[in-house]
Amino acid sequence: MTVISRLPGAREEEWDWQLDGACRAADSQLFFHPSGERGQAHDDRDRAAKAVCARCPVRERCLRHALATRERYGVWGGSTEEERLGMLRRRRRNRVHAAARAR
């Protein structure tokens, strides 16, 4: 579940980028795997969702949103849950290393 405290405020400019998402014309089930989906079906669905993201004009903004709010499910900004978790872990590790070098 998304951490509500990390969501941006109610201002329209915080959310209006979503109106331009390529995913708006696609079935939302493409971006969120059904319970128990594994193997080739899972990989094929992720690949198809990422293909939509690849042509999306707000892909970078979508990814920033997903990282900032710690979206736990679905393909956002062309990245899966696992990929985003890896990005967040690398960010954290880089901050820790930078802080250690600064001491």
Mark the binding-site residues for [4Fe-4S] cluster, compressed into ranges: 23, 53, 56, 62
Of 51, 45, 34, 88, the closest CA to residue 66 belongs to 88
Annotated binding-site members: 23, 53, 56, 62
Burial bucket for residue 66 (CB in 10 Å: 0-12, 13-18, 19+)? buried
Q: Judge whether 6 and 70 are in contact, CB under 8 Å.
A: yes
